[in-house]
Structure 1
Amino acid sequence: MFGKKVRKRSVETVLKEIELLVNQYGVKELHIIDDIFNVDLARAKQICDEIVNRGIKVKIAFPNGLRADMMDRELIQKLKKAGCYSTIYAIETASPRLQKLIHKNLDLEKTKQVIEWTYQEGIIPQAFAMLGFPSETLEEMESTIEYTVNSKLLRCWFFTVVVYPRTELLEIAKRSYPDFNFSNYDWFDLRYWSDVPFYYRATGINTFKIQRNAYRRFYLRPQIILKLFWKYPKNITFLWGIYWGLRATFTSVYRLEEWYRAMKMYLKRKLKFSLR
């Protein structure tokens, strides 16, 4: 979607902006959205060093994901010293076949090691995972869930895959499900989630049930609940996360997804009310 070219701002420009936000506007926490912040390790480490050297006191989080297999322990240590308390790694899938299919080619063993380093250095490790790629098997979805549960991750989001028009993923879907009627597919039901996942429509397999099971297995573990309350800063992000966590857990455990989605669609249609 964004291509492969990278334009990097200079370290000095980045630091001047951080100093402006912290010193002039009183910003106490930065959320860095750059998901390839660590593509240049030397530059990333220099930014961290300069934050420390200039005495900038700020909390840092990476909510949009970093490339896990391009991290090293030194960068994680420097991030911690610079004020980083949380980072997300975009794993997507624990299936080597699917990693190749979607051209992610993530080194899964290195990623698990990086997650452990992140945890050991005192940064909260989190992840994005995706369920329901075209041609994905139930065993491959299970391997992704197992990968996250058996790691040092403290939080994980399990998204269902959305197939967008004019993408290579759509062509893979057409090859995988030749009998599926794509002419009737609702292309307007497209965000980063879908009210009815494509995989559910194409295979009849209840993706919500698999997603529900993933959330239940990951979060309904006493050690995870205790660590989240102990380690996570008590700020608005934490409270927002609690809301989403409770909503996902209760709708999952009590199987309220269909009721909630039906209610949301009704309100949007009849009352023109927007629910997230």
Structure 2
Amino acid sequence: MPTLSHLLSPAHWRSHFTAEFIGRYPSWSAALAAADGYDDQRILETVHASALKVKRGEATFERDSVCFQKEEFRWPLLSVLLHAAIMNRDSLHVADFGGSLGSFYFQHRKFLHQIQSLQWSVIEQSDYVRVGRQDFEDETLKFFPTLADTATRSAIDVTLFSGSLQYLDDPFDQIMQAAALADCIMIDRTPFIDESQDRIAVQRARASIYKASYPHRFFAKEKFDRFMTNLGYASFCEWNGFDRADNTCRYLGRMYRKTDPAVQRRP
């Protein structure tokens, strides 16, 4: 099994860094009571150690605290981000909600740095913000505790929820906050099910890297679609995610754009 010092191949990560999902809880609070929590200090310590390996050049990138030795890119998400930059005249401010210590940014910086004016702002829990500012922040990458704080840096062009919405008590409130600040919302690594209501479960990590469990939401696809439509957003494109749970769930990525041209700040 992998350890912190082990550099994984993508295939090794997919086969070993998996999780199980337990139960069908009536509320987020009920699932939270049955879990260890996602702010466990052990998780931050593991992610921090892996991210420092990337910074020192001992690993190519890290994802979910696991280090990788070979380049791998999330092409669909990267493509729509570069599309957004082109449409915004080679300028882009991304609010990366739940972006850890800049995982996606560091994994794709050789491409992202081709954008003439790039600002990458990570929104995270307070301990991650503290560590991020201490060890990883630079002129491009900054860390903030809320979306509102991020907007004080400059107007947000894209709010990105990559593998984060399913771990929020009220994800729809965060999407509404994002809608008030950005005309473009992107999601990735987000689980959808063909049911009328969301399913709330407890996720338990199987990897030996850390032992933790936390509430997890599977989104009812039609319900989510209606919410985004009522919020004034239309799906511009969709792609399949690489995560896996079981046959009842699909992980998807999407780029949403505001449908009302009167409130569209940029093309």
TM-score, scaled relative to structure 2: 0.29
Q: Which has the higher helix share?
A: 1
Which structure: larger Rg?
Answer: 1
Instruction: Identify the structure with bigger relative contact order (alpha carbons < 8 Å, sequence gap 6+).
Output: 2
Q: Which structure shows the higher strand fraction?
A: 2
